[in-house]
Structure 1
Amino acid sequence: MKTTRLSFKPLPFALLLALSAPAVHAAADAPAAPPARIGVASFNLAWAGSQQDFDHHAAVCKAVSWCDTRPRRLPGQTTPTEEAVQAARQCAADTERLAGGPALAAMMPPCSAYQGRRGDPPPTSQDYAAKLAGLQATVAQLIEGQGVGVIAFQEVRSAAVVRTLLGRHADRFSVCDATHDGFQTVAFAWDRSLSPEPAVCSVEHGLAVSDNPGDPEARKVRPGLALELQWPGRRLSFLNVHLKSSCANIVPTSAFQARLLDDPAPACQVLNRQVAPLERWLDSVAQRSPEFVLLGDFNRRIDEEEKAAIKPEQVRSDGSNPAGVPAQDATGKVSSRYLWQELNDGTRSLTQVPLAGVDQGCRGFTGLDHIVLSDALAKRQPAGLGSRKTAVVQAPNQRIETSDHCPRSVTLSF
């Protein structure tokens, strides 16, 4: 497991001390200062890069006729045809050649990333500018309307893009991101007044498992990112994840079948191999910072798993006790079948912050973005704590949607 640590010096602070510590010369019988209350949010930005990133993407995609590197399936097909597979391979080869090679092609979105309904004209630079404007307005809404001071971002190209999206608030916030060899990564932005000492960002490369452990050239999924703030006498950590997609639910729907983590589907196999490094990361952080928030795009309905009556002996396919980090085979696979019960395993107590409200007009994915508290932090919260999903800002007839996720936020007591 390789960890990269980056330090960021804060600007002068006053707000935190005023909120979280009594005055030095306060009378002995003066009431204790109320706990600080800080808004925390998670926001998947849906392939957010710079305007220049999009213009390069559009130039390459125009040259390959906006082909799709993923095999297309017709309605009713469970698997793509061989013809579709070959077309996707040719698209990938052409895209890599025009982008300057596989490494540079990995740093641009697929040509289908911003496409609307089939048959629509290709998106333009102006269309993408509207998406960025919507993201910036949504971030401003979180900061100004909900007092959010820590934001975990997913599906973003770089810290530089986050600074652009912070707009008029960029001078107040520090930003860090996780180095990665793909376009999508994770990042944090936090109000510098929150920590009297330098904040520390650490990249958790252990989560960036390979799509195919037998192929050294295979793409890797996103790493994790930790943000550590030092409060008077306490540490507080935030862990940002964007786990493997397409192995999301245990309750079947009309669009998605139920899948456990030992399902043979390739996506489930990848998510399965993220379980052990995620558990080790949580254990490591908890030793240094018992109060932590785990948040982001889990790409898993851990709320469904929590509600299911899963007995301990059912959590792993071998019936072993789910306490502790599961054993891995040579490829990194584990016997875990459920993510939530594996993480909240009895030796480690975690609390999901329930979804208490959804803004009107909030569309997109549901059940994938979560906010989870460590036991030590959960005990500081008032009864009935809930989170909300905020609708993204989008102009009428906007051709590239601002995001297919609504940001999820909560105000926590520290």
Structure 2
Amino acid sequence: MRRLAVFVSLFLLSLAGPVAARDITIATWNLGWHMDRSTLAGWIDACNETYEQDQDTKKYHPSTQIGAQFGWDINVFDVEGWNAARFPVCDIYGANKQGFGFTAVRVTAAAYEKRRAQIENFIANNLPADIIAFQEVSGKEAVLEVLPNGAADWEVCSFTGFKVQRLAIAWKKALGNQITCRTEDALTLKDIRPPEEQPRPGLFLALDIDGTTVQVLNVHLKSSCVSPIGGNPLAGNAPACQILHDQIVPLETWIEREAAVTDKTILIGDFNRNFWHEVADTRQVRSDGGNPSTPLPPGVRVNSLFEEVIDGQPAASAFTMLKELCPLNQIGKLLCETGETRALDTPEVDVLRFHTYLGCRNPIGLDHVLLGPGLAAQGDATHVSIGRLGGSRHATKEHPEPLLGIADHCPLIATFGI
């Protein structure tokens, strides 16, 4: 409770921070393995192929023999020679199918084109952001294809290489000019982890806005180590948590290096970790009880990524995490607030997933917005409902084209002043 009280005090102080000369709205949105048209065509062809499993190696290889399985129905990362830097898994979209249960939806180009148009319309009508940090996109072209007005009013910073789950940052041209766009490769752990275990890099964008440098650090950290409440301790032995733990030092190093340039820096994205649960957790930040503002000693484990990295030192890296609201109705608002202090049970999460609430499979707890001390928060961050657009459906005789959900995350949007 002491740590939570301190954090709340810092948050309230931040609201009375620098006087804003201009308000800017930023959003983060994980689009769920979103691909550009060129990548999509090759991916559909690869998933429409049939594969047979070698009983000795357990690897799949292309086969037309009886009993071979479509790529849609297997873990294609087990296909020998599958290029994870080019193609995602085939079972991105799932839905209940009568007699078969929850199965992968077989994607068509026409269904994906409809999904792409829905994303564009959603951004145009429901996401009034000047800057959008995207996760899980195949690259710059994938983002340009979903931005309103044919992306005529937007610029995009992204990258190639690594794996197909890439990041991008889009901003309105009228906002300002790019100074720098680059990846933070240290977050991939390329020097300590084999390629199959390497998570995604970070993406850094510096903009010149009316003569002021504003920086955006977009992240997509290792998944499957979400919360210290009810399981998944960061200092535990789960492989995913060990990888996320390895990202702590490079993440803090990156933040402190960039914040030293300007305290007008935003840290945003899919952290795959519920920071609110870490703040509510009563365990020591470090396993040895040490001060998180000092360098992390070798062999010392960390219980709270947020409190280890955002430790207030140096002062320019004393980021403030914005409270995250669900202004849908009283039930949705209450569940969002409750979810910051304890793990919601499945029926509660299912309420938020329902189309009359947020509509996305991962409604809260993964995405966060943190502002540097040189930026003035203009209120809280808000989860934006995607409603019925979050659901997928199999093709039927009545509807020969499948329906694809636009994302498994809902956008999180916030406004700050510079």
TM-score by length of 2: 0.74
SS of equivalent to 2:207: strand
Contact 1:95 1:105 in 2 (8 A): no
Report the CA distance shift for 1:368/1:94 in structure 2 as closer, same or farther (over 3 A).
Answer: closer
Q: How many angstroms does 1:204 deviate by? A: 0.6
SS of equivalent to 2:113: helix
Q: How many angstroms does 1:136 deviate by? A: 1.6
Contact 1:178 1:223 in 2 (8 A): no
**2:342 matched to which residue of 1?**
none
> What amino acid is the match of 1:53?
T
Q: Distance in 1 between matches of 2:167 and 2:382?
A: 21
Q: Distance in 1 between matches of 2:115 and 2:370?
A: 29
Structure 2 unaligned segments of length 5 or more: list them: 1-18, 62-73, 97-101, 329-355, 394-401
Q: How many angstroms does 1:296 deviate by? A: 0.4
Q: Distance in 2 between matches of 1:327 and 1:88?
A: 41
**2:179 matched to which residue of 1?**
199
Q: Distance in 1 between matches of 2:240 and 2:358?
A: 27
**1:79 matched to which residue of 2?**
none
> What amino acid is the match of 2:106?
P
RMSD, aligned CA: 2.9
Report the CA distance shift for 1:295/1:105 in structure 2 as closer, same or farther (over 3 A).
Answer: closer
Contact 1:324 1:345 in 2 (8 A): no
> What amino acid is the match of 2:311?
D
Contact 2:93 2:104 in 1 (8 A): no
**1:50 matched to which residue of 2?**
36
Q: Distance in 2 between matches of 1:369 and 1:119?
A: 27
**Is residue 2:168 matched to residue 1:187?**
yes
SS of equivalent to 1:218: helix
Residue 171 (structure 1) aligned to one of 152, 166, 170: 152
**1:352 matched to which residue of 2?**
321
Q: How many angstroms does 1:129 deviate by? A: 2.2
**2:366 matched to which residue of 1?**
368
Q: Residue by residue, what CA displacement relative to the aligned partner does 1:16-58 show, whole Å, maximum 9, x if unpaired? A: xxxxxxxxxxxxxxxxx97211110001001100233233222
Residue 337 (structure 1) aligned to one of 289, 298, 303: 303
**1:285 matched to which residue of 2?**
258
Q: Which moved more, 1:162-171 or 1:297-306?
A: 162-171
Q: Map 1:271-350 onto structure 2 (within 5 A).
A: 271-310=244-283, 314-328=284-298, 335-347=301-313, 348-350=317-319
**1:122 matched to which residue of 2?**
106
Residue 234 (structure 1) aligned to one of 212, 215, 219: 212
Q: How many angstroms does 1:264 deviate by? A: 0.7
Q: Distance in 2 between matches of 1:293 and 1:337?
A: 24
**1:410 matched to which residue of 2?**
414
**1:23 matched to which residue of 2?**
none
Structure 1 unaligned segments of length 5 or more: list them: 1-32, 69-82, 253-257
Report the CA distance shift for 1:264/1:95 in structure 2 as closer, same or farther (over 3 A).
Answer: closer
> What amino acid is the match of 1:260?
P
**Is residue 2:244 matched to residue 1:250?**
no
Q: How many angstroms does 1:229 deviate by? A: 1.4
**1:76 matched to which residue of 2?**
none
Report the CA distance shift for 1:132/1:394 in structure 2 as closer, same or farther (over 3 A).
Answer: farther
> What amino acid is the match of 1:381?
A
Report the CA distance shift for 1:291/1:119 in structure 2 as closer, same or farther (over 3 A).
Answer: closer
Q: Distance in 2 between matches of 1:235 and 1:403?
A: 31
> What amino acid is the match of 2:172?
D
Contact 2:94 2:103 in 1 (8 A): no
Contact 2:20 2:417 in 1 (8 A): no
> What amino acid is the match of 1:411?
T
Q: How many angstroms does 1:190 deviate by? A: 0.6
Q: How many angstroms does 1:319 deviate by? A: 2.4
Contact 1:306 1:341 in 2 (8 A): yes
SS of equivalent to 2:369: strand
Q: Residue by residue, what CA displacement relative to the aligned partner does 1:73-108 show, whole Å, maximum 9, x if unpaired? A: xxxxxxxxxx9x9756676689655xxx35x34320
Percent identical pairs in the alignment equals 29
SS of equivalent to 1:106: coil
Q: Map 1:215-230 onto structure 2 (within 5 A).
A: 215=194, 217-230=195-208
**1:29 matched to which residue of 2?**
none
**2:335 matched to which residue of 1?**
none
Q: Distance in 2 between matches of 1:115 and 1:244?
A: 22
Q: Residue by residue, what CA displacement relative to the aligned partner does 1:208-249 show, whole Å, maximum 9, x if unpaired? A: 125x9463x434211101111124553211110000000001
**2:142 matched to which residue of 1?**
161
Contact 1:140 1:169 in 2 (8 A): no
Q: Distance in 2 between matches of 1:63 and 1:138?
A: 33
**1:24 matched to which residue of 2?**
none
> What amino acid is the match of 2:371?
L
Contact 1:45 1:135 in 2 (8 A): no
Q: Distance in 2 between matches of 1:125 and 1:230?
A: 39
> What amino acid is the match of 2:326?
G
Report the CA distance shift for 1:86/1:139 in structure 2 as closer, same or farther (over 3 A).
Answer: farther
